[in-house]
Structures are given as C-alpha cells and as structure tokens.
Amino acid sequence: MAEETLEAIARALVAPGKGILAADESTGTIEKRLRSIDVESTEEKRQAYREMLFTTPGLGDHISGVILYDETIRQSTKDGVAFTKALEGSGVIPGIKVDKGAKPLAGAKGETVTEGLDGLRERLNEYRELGAKFTKWRAVIDIGEGLPSAYSIHVNAHALARFAALSQEAGLVPIVEPEVLMDGDHTIDRCYEVTEATLEAVFNELFSQRAVYERMLLKPNMVISGKDCPVQAGPEEVAKATVRCFKSVVPAAVPGVVFLSGGQSDEQATANLNAMNALGPQPWELSFSYGRALQAPSLKAWRGEDANVQAGQDALAHRARLNGAARDGGYTPEMEKVPAAA
C-alpha cells in the first residue's frame, strides 16, 4: 500500500498543468534575496515572505507541491496554521530539502560533494511527522577546464542514490537533483556531454542502491548554453537537445522530470519548458520545479510591505499560470503582457 502511495504522490506532483514551487532557500540564500529588496533577513520577515507565497489564492491551480527548508517546515501562518497544513488546504503537497549543501570535495580542486547523509534516516522520520510527503537533494556539477572529473560525478551520484533509497524507505518521494551548472562559456554541446554522463552515473547508482524509479522524480538542468557562451541556443534547440539527451539515459519508468531554472530568466525558463512540451508526448511528464524563476516577480512586488501582499501574490499566480500553460506547449510570449490579476 505504501508503495502505491509513493507512486501516487510522484504522479500528483507532475499532474497536467502543474509544477513545483521551490521555496527551500537556505538562510544564506534567502538573506541575499531579501537584501535585493532592501529588507533585513529576520525570522519574522522570512516567515512573512513565505506566508505571502503559500497563501496565494488559487495556488493549487498550477502548483502541485512546495519544497520547504528546515526553518520553514516548522513555521506557521500568523493565524497559527502550520505551513504544511495551509499548503495541503490549497491542494498543494508539502516537501522538504534534506541535504546540507555542497562542500569542497577532497582531492578535487574546484569541485564539491553534497553533505547530509549522516543522521538522514532520523531526520526523514521527523520531517514526515512534520507533514512532508516528498524530499529533495541537490548535487552540483561544474563545467570548466578539466571539469567535471569522473570522481566528482561518481561521489555525487552515489550520495543522491543513498538519499533516494533512504527517502523511499521512510515513505517519502525523493526528488533527485543533479544540477550541471550553466555558469561559464561552454557550448550547448558541452552541456549535453556532461549532463548525459552525470545522468548515466546517477541512474546506475540508483539501480545499484535499489531505489525504485516509479517512486521518484528527477530534477535536472536543461541542456543549455553556458551563461557566457557567445552563441546562445534558443528554446527549440534547447528543447531538442534536452529531450534527446534524456531519452538516452533516463528510464521511462520515472514518472516525471521537474526542471530547475538554474539561473535562467523567468521568461527563458518558461519558453524552454514550453518548447519541450510542444515536441509532443515523452516517456515522462516534463514539468518545472522553479525557485527564483517563479518567485522573483513576487519578491519585487512585495518589497517587505504588508500593503503589497496581494501584489506579490498576483505576481506569483501569474508566473505559475504561465508555467502551467508551458506544461502542454500552450505558452506564448504574448501571455507575459496579461496583467497578473487577470
């Protein structure tokens, strides 16, 4: 029965027209976000910002789940309703980031490995009791001169698979996030090579460590040009390269792929997802798990002021609606001009 539940949750997270809001910024990252709008990062302000996002009217229309951070999953609305309960009341599934961040990898200059496996079994049980239904772990793979090393790819794939197996054991759906960074001047072809090698290693480890593909989701980067590459691939090229890459290594048993935005602009992340879905049905649902690309307009509209809560919520609802349209290839750039409250 538990197995059926995990598969049902995984499929609900990639339901048609819906995707995931990543609101799992660490304390350091959320401080940078708030500083960008001249707001001090106090626990009170972080709570107020997350409450604005999570209580957006109609949030569940296009958002299937929200990834929370350790601080956030323990917080409540100003009316005393736990955030997990508030989300569930809107038809949104609560989840939790469980890794402890990327740290320098010994013997591999310029590369990292994600930590957090020690004590993870116990933490997973606590998060489940707090209301989480799914989990997320991010590994970071950098492209550069001589990078990534096979060593870096292997240790990160191994950690991702251990996380996934432990999550499924705890009755939680793991979202496996191997992110090949778009920082640098590499071409889309180089991104393809590294992404393919990374995903191949990840699924080899998942298989070896007995993670069940039907009870997980993949959160990867798109196959895309590096930020500083002189020639930037457009949505159609990104879509074709990404789908071709994934067909070579991602098992059809995986219910869905929820892309990270990875530094793309709001519009770029939506357009690229739309172009992929416009190619027609694929073995997996192609959805989104965006953080900044969903939150940025909302953060800017809110600016830390209670009087701007509705404006912030309207901005989030608008971006969620556009990404929901991209889920079936129905997004057009003209939709960007429609007022958020429409």
- What is the DSSP annotation of 34-59? HHTTT----HHHHHHHHHHHHT-TTG
Phi, psi (degrees; rounded to nearest 5) at 259: -70, 145
Cis peptide before 148 (omega within 30 of 0): yes
Beta strands at 217-218 and 173-180: parallel, antiparallel or unpaired:
parallel
With CA atoms as reference, report the closest residue to 37 among 224, 312, 322, 329: 312
Element (H, E) at 238: helix 235-249
Q: How far is it, in rounded angstroms, from Cα 207 to Cα 150?
A: 19
SS3 151: helix
Q: How far is Cα 239 from Cα 244, in angstroms, rounded to an integer?
A: 8
CB 28, CB 43: distance < 8 Å: no
Is the Cβ–Cβ distance between 163 and 113 less than 8 Å?
no
d(CA 79, CA 109): 49
Catalytic residues: 177, 219
- Tallying the residues shown for the chain, one arrives at 342
The pair of three-digit structure tokens given for residue 302, joined into one six-digit string: 């809110």
Q: Could you write out the three-class secondary structure of 277-310? A: HHCCCCCCEEEEEECHHHHHHHHHHHCCCHHHHH
